[in-house]
Structure 1
Amino acid sequence: FMDQNNPLSEITHKRRISALGPGGLTRERAGFEVRDVHPTHYGRVCPMETPEGPNIGLINSLSVYAQTNEYGFLETPYRRVRDGVVTDEIHYLSAIEEGNYVIAQANTNLDDEGHFVDDLVTCRSKGESSLFSRDQVDYMDVSTQQVVSVGASLIPFLEHDDA
Structure 2
Amino acid sequence: HFGNRRLRTVGELIQNQIRVGMSRMERVVRERMTTQDVEAITPQTLINIRPVVAAIKEFFGTSQLSQFMDQNNPLSGLTHKRRLSALGPGGLSRERAGLEVRDVHPSHYGRMCPIETPEGPNIGLIGSLSVYARVSPFGFIETPYRKVVDGVVSDE
Higher strand proportion, which one? 1
Q: Give the deviation of 1:79 after TM superposition.
A: 2.8
Change (3 A) 1:85 1:7: closer
- For 1:43, the equivalent position in structure 2 comes to 110
**For the pair shown, which has the larger CA radius of gyration, 1 or 2?**
2
Structure 2: 5+ residue runs without aligned partners? 1-67
- For 1:79, the equivalent position in structure 2 comes to 146
Q: Give the deviation of 1:85 after TM superposition.
A: 7.3
Q: Give the deviation of 1:70 after TM superposition.
A: 2.1
Aligned residues: 88
> Is the contact between residue 84 and residue 128 of structure 2 (CA under 8 Å) also seen in structure 1?
yes
Which runs of structure 2 are paired with 1:10-25 in the superposition (5 Å)? 10-25=77-92
Normalised by the size of structure 1, how large is the TM-score?
Answer: 0.50
Q: Identity over aligned residues, as a percent?
A: 77
1: distance between equivalents of 2:153 and 2:81? 37
Per-residue CA shift, 1:76-114, capped at 9, x if unaligned?
Answer: 101356897722x5xxxxxxxxxxxxxxxxxxxxxxxxx
- Please tell me the root mean square deviation across aligned C-alpha atoms, in Å: 1.8
4+ aligned runs moved over 4 Å, structure 1: 80-85
Per-residue CA shift, 1:19-74, capped at 9, x if unaligned?
Answer: 00010000010000100000000000111110011000000011000011122111
Structure 1: 5+ residue runs without aligned partners? 90-163
